Amino acid sequence: MGGRLKIVLLLAPALAVIGVLFAGGLVIAFVQSLGYVPAIGMTELTLDAYRGILSDEDFFDSLVLTLYVSGVSTGVSTVLAVLAALALRRSSGRLSAVVFQLPITIPHLVAAVGIALVVGQTGLGARLAALLGLIGEPGDFPALLYDERSVGIILTYVWKEVPFITLVMLAALRGVASDLEDVARTLGAGAWQRFWYVVFPVISPSVVAASLLVFAFTFGAFEVPYLLGKSYPTILPVMAYDEYRGIDLAARPTAMAINILIALVTGAIAALYLRLARDLGRRRG
């Protein structure tokens, strides 16, 4: 059929790029995670790498850290975004768009450097604290970089992702939610009733979807923790990278196994997100 052939031909270039460079790469990564790396003479298929990491305390420390960083970043970002969106829903749309687009557009590395210069022990925060007489020297200021609680990483993520979730929420709030709120008003719903029975249920799928995206991203992101994180434990993508870049080539399957686990987790979140997005689309349609 001509029509079907046309679709296939139109899709072919994009699918080829993604199929070869992304899916192909994932397949190779998976095969290597099973211990098959002929380039270094490993040709036996085993689950050793997975067994290895699952019994490795370092891996679990990393996993916990990763879940902690992405969980807290997502949670804090979502809460702040909800508050910001509710506070800003009646302000100028154009102005808030500019203010919020900026952090979304700025690369993570720039954000990380900027945040580091604010919260570091000789940063702007510490200088202010010294001015107020709260601390005497840099060492008195709490260590927020390369630290146990990954505060610098989380702050960078929050700075970057709050605007994203807020914009998604504002779009939902200013769109149909505000019309529905008017309907609810004429039907006798008070402010709290309107929020609880109408606004909240209507916008929450968009918020959940946006939060899922943020979680998936922070779970698999590399550079901010690589720059601002401490050396042990590291988050999973950094751990995978270190294993991959290490001198011991036999560690490759381990690196790949970690990668595959990250891909599985984020892939599952992606599927969940798409389901939500589709339901949202249906509802509107």
Partner 1 sequence: MGKKGGNVGLALVAALVAVPFVPLTLWAFAGEWRFPDLLPTAWSLRGVAHLVEPGGGVLGATLNSVLIGAATAAASVAVGMPAGMAIGGYQWRFKGVVIFFILLPILVPPLASTMGVHVTFIRLGLADTLPGVFLVHLVPTVPYTALILAGVFAERTGELEEAARTLGASPWQAFLRVTLPGVLPGVAVAGLFAFLISWGQYVLTLLIGGGNVVTLPMLLFSAASGNDPVVTSALALAFALPAVLALVLALRVLKPGERAGGFVGPGKFS
Partner 2 sequence: MSARLELENVSHRYGNDAPALEKLSLAVEPGELVALLGPSGCGKTTALKVVAGLLRPTAGDVRVDGRSVVGTPPERREAAMVFQKPLLFPHMGVTENVGFGLRMRGARKEEAGRKADEALRRVRMEGFAGRSPGELSGGQQQRVALARALVTEPRLLLLDEPFSALDANLREEMRDLVLRLQREGGHTTVFVTHDQEEAVVLADRIALIFDGRLQMYDCPEAFYDRPATREVARFFGATNFIDGRANDGSVRTPLGDLRLEGTAPPGEVTLTIRPEAVRLEGGENSFRARVSSTSYLGTQVHYELRAAGTTLRAALPPHVRLAVGDEVTARLPATSLWVLDRRF
Contact between 87 and partner 1 (CB under 8 A)? yes
Query: Does 184 interact with partner 2 (rule: CB under 8 A)?
Result: yes
CB contact at 8 A, 117 and 124: yes
* Amino acid, res. 22: F
Instruction: Give the torsion through C-alpha atoms of 115, 117, 121, 124, to 10 deg.
Output: -100
Residue 179 touches which member of partner 2, partner 1, none, C-beta under 5-8 Å by kind? partner 2
Residue 202 binds what, of partner 2, partner 1, none (CB under 5 to 8 Å, by partner type)?
partner 2
Contact between 244 and 29 under an 8 Å Cβ cutoff? The reply is: no
The answer to whether 257 and 20 are in contact (CB under 8 A) is no
Q: Which residues in 104-123 contact partner 1 (CB under 8 A)?
A: 104-118, 122-123
Q: Which does 35 bind (CB under 5 to 8 A by kind): partner 2, partner 1, none?
A: none
Triad 280, 283, 263: Cα angle to 5°: 20
Residue span binding partner 1 (CB under 8 A) among the ranges 1-9, 48-56, 59-67, 180-188: 1-9
Residues pairing with 37 in the sheet: 42
Draw the binding track, 13-52, toward partner 1 (x: CB under 8 A; -: no contact).
xxx-xx--xxxxxxxxxx-x----x-x-------------
CA R_g for the chain: 23
CA distance 146 to 15: 40
Choose the stretch contacting partner 2; rule: CB under 8 A; options: 16-24, 35-43, 53-61, 188-196.
Answer: 188-196
Binding site for partner 2 (CB under 8 A): 176, 179-180, 182-190, 193, 197-198, 201-202, 282-285
